[in-house]
Amino acid sequence: MSGRLKRPLNKAAVKKAEAEFSAKHPELKGKPLNASDPKQAALRQQERMDLYVKHGGELEAPNEKTAKTCGGTTTGCSSSKSPTPKPTTVCDYIALTKKVEKAHPDWSGERVLNALRHEAGYDDERFKALYGSIQSGDSLLPTGELTQEDINNMRELSRHSGNTKNTEKGIAKDSLGHDVAIGHVLTGMSAGMHRKQAIQPTTNKSEYLAASLGVGENIDNLYATTVTGDIGQELSIRNRNIFFGNDLQIFSCFPILGIQITILIVKLANLAIRITHRDQTATQTIGYGTEATHAELVGDIDGFILGSQIDSSKMNKAPSQLSKILNQHYGCQGESNTGIETRFNHFDKLTDQKMLLDQIKRFSTSYNYKLGKVYGLTTNLDDEVLDAYNDFRSWLEREKQREQNRLDKSI
């Protein structure tokens, strides 16, 4: 019999077991067993324990000891193994992507991408409209080696929220030390799969009306799902906070003053308010405290680069090659000359400055209408758009210089 004696010991069983043991081994002359003598191991571990159990003593249940060392759980655990570290890096996320691909060998790269984007929270009607109304991504379920914990970890690494150093979530660190909003990488790749350079981001009748009135703008979905989307959204939200009136109040004036006069009055009122509050709206439009944090913009840039060079024919085939594409970009298998080595300079070469400025304006104009019908009809943010564009250019130039300095040192 093997095992551990259950504590506290049964004193009566101990007394009877010791008496019988001494009677069976007169050669010991009542002396206690030597704990370090290997010749007496069998006596200590088997015969003596057997006698203790024979007289009513108890042994611990097989999982009882490990359960005690694992927080009192009844399932038990290995006390010799340390807890698995929480995934925190982009490479950790790619390793989890491989597990998804292994669990679904019949899925194409795009189907895996759509599922990851779905789990990241970027699969609502507005995103699908930007991609041309593609189907919703699959919800991941534990399959094979892919566990629920794996799925939860992927969500935590890719569902972006918060915009301060202490509250920002849904980010992972790359090998160069940059925080990356992975969900934004996925949205850019999906836009590359369904590139639309002039799409109207409308999902309902009222937004189609906006387009007919000249409020909605045709936008490039690769820009909109990455850089210009974040910057344009920040502009619209910030200026909406000082907007004059609301839809219901202003619509009620239409029968009295007429649509054109009412809209003109609201435009003039908003212009006066924005001039008065210029100090409130002229602060930086990127970084902590905005809808375009460093991690979001880095993810946007990676998503733009990957989306601009994605091979749809390969992504539409099974088994999925998504993890391989991400590995090559982020250098998670020791590759040299990876995409992130020159991401900032590469992005600058891929984009035209006039195009970037125009796309920020177009997205902001469309997003204004989402925030309020009259707000969209009466708001022109050209000056604020230029400020935001200049903020972004300053940030990009700093990152380009840091990137070049690092590359020069490595030579």
pLDDT at 277 over 90: no
* Distance separating alpha carbons of residues 216 and 222, to the nearest angstrom: 17
pLDDT at position 206 is 44
Taking residues 309-321, report their average pLDDT: 92
Convert the pLDDT of each residue in 139-155 to its tens digit: 999 999 999 999 999 99
Length of the chain equals: 411
Please, which pLDDT band fits residue 82 given cuts at 50, 70 and 90? low
DSSP letter (8 states) at residue 138: P
* Distance separating alpha carbons of residues 140 and 216, to the nearest angstrom: 35
Residue with tokens 């200026």: 239
Taking residues 93-120, report their average pLDDT: 96
Distances (CA, A) of 109 to 115, 223, 339: 10, 22, 19
By three-state DSSP, how is residue 387 classified? Answer: helix
* Distance separating alpha carbons of residues 321 and 98, to the nearest angstrom: 9
Residue with tokens 């590469």: 346
What is the domain partition of the chain in residue ranges?
11-69, 90-242+277-410
pLDDT at 91 over 70: yes
* Distance separating alpha carbons of residues 204 and 200, to the nearest angstrom: 11
Q: Is the bond preceding residue 8 a cis peptide, omega within 30 degrees?
A: yes
**Single pTM value for the model:** 0.69
Distances (CA, A) of 292 to 24, 160, 289, 385: 82, 11, 8, 14
pLDDT at position 76 is 47
Across 73-82, 87-96, 306-315, least confident range: 73-82
DSSP letter (8 states) at residue 5: B
pLDDT at position 17 is 81
pLDDT at 244 over 50: no
Percent of the chain with pLDDT over 70: 67
Task: Give ∠ CA 296-297-298 in degrees, rounded to 5.
Answer: 90
* Distance separating alpha carbons of residues 200 and 249, to the nearest angstrom: 28
* Distance separating alpha carbons of residues 161 and 183, to the nearest angstrom: 11
Task: Give ∠ CA 163-287-115 in degrees, rounded to 5.
Answer: 55
Q: DSSP readout, 329-362?
A: HHTTTS-SS-GGGGHHHHHHHHS-HHHHHHHHHH
pLDDT at position 247 is 45
In single-letter form, the type of residue at position 86 comes to K
